[in-house]
């Protein structure tokens, strides 16, 4: 058979290629990379714009020569335009014209593209998106040459709040306009309000429940116009309205698309077409708790799915264990993390959730530098199974790794009561005899009597 062809040079594609070579070193693996930037950490772009990362080249997870050392071939500026699933070939636009590349097995890792909300005026030179390296270069170029003094960020999700942080650090006056009633709608509103306080403390102006209809060029910048008139003026606008799966290639090849608009795969990361695998932001992801496909475009998930797809394309039989939607974001001095379900998500998956909020010190208050964590634990009223957790706290208070303890407990199907049985570590500068994670679980247990 011919070798493995991977379409896509980001997290899922690169991981698939490396894993295929690792488990089957004799297999030919070719990666088609649409741009010149394979294996770049897209999640790092806000820190490039903030100035915390001085050189964009350091954003590469691995250099091209590191990648090539795996024995896989990386074809840069090779954009796949068509998959012929019957003849098992891919048409590819290259700098030297169109080529047809045969494959034995193929991994589609075309990722996602920024969502383009239906706002009039997005074609302005002063309107920016942020997803691929090209987007980042365009924005960075404008920031350094035109030196805008103010920015309107449309969207208050992960990228929105990270970019608010980044542009404030750069000295811009930032207005953030989001459709939801509180920022960061991926966490509960009481936690979103903590994030708003942090953003306000850094002079970010926040407009919630705001649906932007038009971005109009004015004599000296942009007017951002919502239903009730001009909501903000700014030198530039950044659209951070989430992403949509990039599935044109798969759809045209007759590959099944699911209810969230992304490619349907099984837990072996196989599509419905023979010898066609898919992974990353272009697929629907098995949710471990919901036990159904959801759309959860996350770098961590892309790596895991890529690893499974690569191993299986090389003849393996690995199963993707499912996502819990675990995520964390840093905004100024706060970290905000979640795993598993929030109340409404749990209800929609058939559970009887109760969510209890607790505050607890990150370490013993007598040791300098202690800060309070706000933790929301969601569990099932009947089975008492842990369903999810959300934490907000100081970014150096181990918020991310505390959510990981919850994520590990969730993975294993533990009850909220079981959390107190965990033998977690303790020293006064870093925790408490009952860690904050356990104190939050104990609050839930006290509130929800059996």
Can you give the binding site for a second copy, defined by CB under 8 A?
Answer: 11, 41, 43-44, 47, 52-53, 58-59, 61, 288, 298-304, 307, 321-330, 335, 337, 339, 364-368, 395-396, 398-405, 407-409, 411-412, 414, 418, 420-431, 433-435, 437
- Nearer to a second copy among residue 142 and residue 434 (C-beta): 434
How is 6-43 classified by DSSP, letter by letter? EE-SSHHHHHHHHHHHHH-TTS-EEEE-SSS-TTB-GG
- Nearer to a second copy among residue 83 and residue 437 (C-beta): 437
Contact 264, 250 (CB under 8 A): no
Give the integer Cα–Cα distance in Å for 212 and 230: 9
- Nearer to a second copy among residue 220 and residue 423 (C-beta): 423
Give the integer Cα–Cα distance in Å for 368 and 366: 6
Q: How far is the CB of 420 from a second copy (least distance, A)?
A: 7
- Nearer to a second copy among residue 146 and residue 365 (C-beta): 365
Give the integer Cα–Cα distance in Å for 333 and 78: 41
Name every residue whose Cβ is closer than 8 Å to that of residue 284 and which is 6 or more positions away in sequence: 258, 259, 260, 262, 263, 264, 265, 293, 294, 295
Q: How far is the CB of 62 from a second copy (least distance, A)?
A: 12
Q: 46 burial class (0-12, 13-18, 19+ CB within 10 angstroms)?
A: buried
Q: How far is the CB of 48 from a second copy (least distance, A)?
A: 9
- Nearer to a second copy among residue 181 and residue 413 (C-beta): 413
- Nearer to a second copy among residue 314 and residue 399 (C-beta): 399
- Nearer to a second copy among residue 67 and residue 90 (C-beta): 67
Using only C-alpha atoms, the chain has a radius of gyration, in whole angstroms, of 23
Q: How far is the CB of 219 from a second copy (least distance, A)?
A: 39
Q: Closest Cα partner for 72 from 17, 35, 23?
A: 17
Q: How far is the CB of 397 from a second copy (least distance, A)?
A: 9
Q: How far is the CB of 40 from a second copy (least distance, A)?
A: 10
Task: Give the C-alpha distances (Å, rounded to integers) separating 161 from 164, 287, 335, 343.
Answer: 5, 26, 11, 23
- Nearer to a second copy among residue 214 and residue 333 (C-beta): 333
Task: Give the C-alpha distances (Å, rounded to integers) separating 354 from 166, 288, 344, 350, 391.
Answer: 36, 19, 10, 13, 16
Q: How far is the CB of 324 from a second copy (least distance, A)?
A: 4
Q: How far is the CB of 409 from a second copy (least distance, A)?
A: 6
């Amino acid at each position: 058979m011919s070798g493995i062809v991977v379409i896509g040079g980001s997290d899922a594609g690169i991981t698939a290629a490396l894993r295929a070579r690792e488990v089957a070193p004799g297999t030919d693996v070719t990666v088609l990379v649409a741009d010149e930037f394979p294996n770049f950490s897209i999640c790092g772009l806000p820190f490039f714009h903030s100035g915390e990362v001085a050189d964009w080249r350091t954003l590469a997870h691995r250099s091209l020569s590191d990648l090539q050392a795996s024995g896989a071939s990386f074809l840069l500026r090779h954009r796949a335009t068509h998959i012929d699933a019957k003849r098992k070939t891919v048409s590819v636009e290259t700098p030297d014209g169109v080529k047809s590349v045969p494959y034995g097995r193929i991994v589609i890792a075309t990722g996602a593209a920024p969502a383009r909300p239906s706002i009039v005026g997005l074609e302005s030179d002063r309107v920016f998106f942020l997803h691929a390296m090209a987007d980042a270069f365009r924005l960075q170029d404008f920031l350094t040459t035109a030196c805008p003094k103010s920015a309107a960020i449309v969207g208050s999700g992960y990228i929105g709040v990270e970019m608010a942080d980044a542009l404030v650090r750069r000295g811009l006056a930032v207005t953030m306009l989001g459709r939801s009633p509180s920022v960061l709608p991926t966490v509960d509103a009481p936690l979103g309000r903590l994030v708003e306080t942090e953003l306000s403390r850094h002079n970010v102006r926040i407009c919630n429940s705001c649906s932007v209809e038009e971005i109009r060029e004015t004599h000296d910048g942009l007017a951002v116009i919502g239903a009730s008139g001009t909501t903000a003026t700014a030198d530039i606008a950044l659209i951070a309205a989430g992403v949509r799966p990039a599935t044109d290639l798969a759809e045209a090849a007759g590959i099944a698309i699911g209810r969230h608009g992304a490619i349907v795969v099984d837990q072996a990361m196989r599509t419905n077409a023979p010898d066609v695998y898919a992974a990353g932001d272009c697929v629907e992801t098995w949710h471990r708790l919901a036990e159904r496909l959801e759309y959860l475009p996350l770098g961590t998930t892309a790596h895991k799915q890529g690893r499974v797809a690569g191993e299986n394309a090389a003849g393996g039989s690995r199963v993707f264990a499912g996502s819990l939607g675990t995520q964390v974001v840093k905004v100024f001095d706060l970290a905000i993390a979640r795993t598993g379900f929030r109340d409404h998500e749990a209800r929609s998956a058939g559970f009887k959730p109760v969510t209890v909020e607790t505050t607890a010190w990150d370490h013993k208050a007598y040791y300098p530098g202690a800060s309070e964590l706000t933790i929301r634990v969601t569990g099932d009223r009947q089975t008492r199974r842990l369903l999810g957790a959300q934490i907000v706290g100081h970014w150096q208070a181990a918020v991310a790794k505390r959510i990981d303890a919850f994520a590990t407990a969730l993975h294993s199907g533990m009850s909220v009561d079981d959390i107190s049985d965990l033998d977690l570590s303790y020293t006064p500068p870093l925790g408490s005899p009952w860690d904050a994670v356990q104190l939050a679980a104990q609050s839930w247990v006290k509130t929800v009597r059996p």
